[in-house]
Amino acid sequence: MNPHSVFHMSEIIKTRALVLRKIDFGDTSRIAQFYTEDFGKISAIIKGARTQRSKTGMLIDTMNYLQIIFYSKETREVQIVSDVDLIKHYSRIREDFDKFKHASAIVELLSSLTLENEGHKKLFYGTVRILELLDESPNDPKYLFAKYFLFFLREMGYYFQVENCNVCGSKINTGQSVAFNYDTGIMCDVCSRNRMTNFELGKELFDLLFCLNSRNMDAKYKQSDLDLVIKILEKFLIYHIPEFKGIKSLQLI
């Protein structure tokens, strides 16, 4: 068992965290949902966060990257935050609608599809990295999100091979046309003949998917192809998690 997957009886914990959501609670407090470095997703109350003198309350804002100290008790669903320090605000994301929309989609995936108190450091670090790229790099936010989406699927256990047929294992090279099945993933031409195909991926579309799965940040693509890849990945996730109804943040106009 992961030693960070559950809290001990009662202790004071310091960890880094991304703010996923926040809601007002009572007259002066706020409850926030965090994705933390050590414990995955947790919920915690920040008492007095909405008072004018609360420095802590001002820092509890969606997407902020923080260091938090909280009192944990394993029998309590909502922990208690005692102190907060700001690591990064991601101001450029907030100033650019396209960046903000895709950063919101990342936050939505973490909030909707990760489990409470289940630490996943690689997913945490990968999310911090993509938010930094969205904030600082000139790359297309939609392209960065698509790369993250593939990474998220892999880390959540729903990943499919891109370089090889998911049925026979044969290598698939760029420049080939392939088929895609929600249950199986990418299939070579031979294997797809005897199986249901949900999407036909032409050469350009497959090459884009191949680039998204690599470290390549300079791929050439059509926006329509990038939209289609994201839609395919979204429907793939909906197929495997029926209660997931799609990424609402991407529907923002």
The pLDDT tens digits of the residues spanning 140-169 come to: 999 999 999 999 999 999 988 899 999 999
Cα separation, 207 vs 215, in Å, equals 13
pTM equals 0.90
Segment (H or E) for 20: strand 10-25
- Hey, what domains does the chain have and what are their CATH numbers? 10-89 (2.40.50.140), 139-251 (1.20.1440.120)
Residue 199: which pLDDT band, with cuts at 50, 70 and 90?
A: very high
Residue 253: which pLDDT band, with cuts at 50, 70 and 90?
A: low
Token pair belonging to 113 = 């599809």
Q: Percent of the chain at pLDDT above 70?
A: 95
The residue assigned the tokens 């420049």 is: 175
Q: What is the pLDDT of residue 1?
A: 45
3-state secondary structure (DSSP) of residue 199: strand
Question: Is the per-residue pLDDT at 7 higher than 80?
Answer: no
Q: Which residues pair with 34 in a beta bridge?
A: 19, 42
84-107 pLDDT, tens digit each: 999 999 999 999 999 999 999 999
Q: Which residues pair with 25 in a beta bridge?
A: 29
